[in-house]
Amino acid sequence: MGFVLPETLRENDELVADLARFSENLLSEKIIRRKYGLDEETWVGLAEDELFSEMVEAERIRRIRNGAAKRESAQALVARAPEVLGKIMNDERQSAKHRIDSAKALDQLAGFVPEVTGQEDRVVIRIDLGADTRAKGLKSSPADVLVFDVAARPSPAEAGGKIIDATPQQERSSMIEQQEPPTLIKRGRGRPPGSKNKPKPSTKDVPMLADWK
């Protein structure tokens, strides 16, 4: 009697998913066999078992349809990006631009927070809504004083996701000057078609009073 695949392996959903990843080249045979303690006979039996192979194929199709295969494959490639970028950055044969771009990409992958140099210009607006209340001799509430402290050139996050126009006045004026003036259509002699102004009748066409007698 040949090898009989244990039923517990067919019921192991995690093993089925890992074998689907193995077919996608995301996991190696060595990792799977060590993780589940599979010997050579059991490993060969998994491949020869028709029912188990159908379960792995169904899981592979499911991962493709829900995007898991694409997402995990992309993550595996991105995980190798620092190594590739590091080789470009350290390669003196590469152009300076490529090496600098690689350093910038590595800095973003590392998650470093850029340092803020210099003092940022800010605009502080204070609106006191309790002046009239105090003028009447009453006590105003601290909530009546509104303070708005924002950067001189706010980001969309500081402006609630809305910036009406962040273009400096000098740039806007330059853009207006660069715009071509509208083309004026020169009208020919005479009245345009459809004009409501009718020509005045000639005095020759007006009957004299003597003609009505």
Residue ranges of E strands in the chain: 122-128, 145-151
Two tokens, residue 169: 């006045």
pLDDT tier for residue 213 given thresholds of 50, 70 and 90? very low
In the chain, where are the structural domains located?
7-77, 81-110, 122-150
**Rounded distance between C-alpha atoms, residue 81 and residue 76, angstroms:** 9
Q: Which residues have C-beta within 8 Å of that of residue 28, sequence separation ≥ 6? A: 22
Whether 111 shows a pLDDT value over 70: the answer reads yes
Whether 158 shows a pLDDT value over 70: the answer reads no
With 0-12 CB in 10 A as exposed, 13-18 as middle and 19+ as buried, what is 190? exposed
pLDDT tens for each residue of 13-52:
999 999 999 999 999 999 999 999 999 988 988 888 888 8
pLDDT tier for residue 139 given thresholds of 50, 70 and 90? confident
**Rounded distance between C-alpha atoms, residue 80 and residue 90, angstroms:** 16
Say what the pLDDT of residue 212 is.
Answer: 44
**Rounded distance between C-alpha atoms, residue 76 and residue 70, angstroms:** 10
pLDDT tier for residue 113 given thresholds of 50, 70 and 90? low
Residue ranges of E strands in 129-183: 145-151
Say what the pLDDT of residue 47 is.
Answer: 87
Whether 178 shows a pLDDT value over 70: the answer reads no
How would DSSP label each residue in 189-203? Answer: SSPPTT-S-PPPPPG
Say what the pLDDT of residue 20 is.
Answer: 94
Residue ranges of E strands in 14-107: none
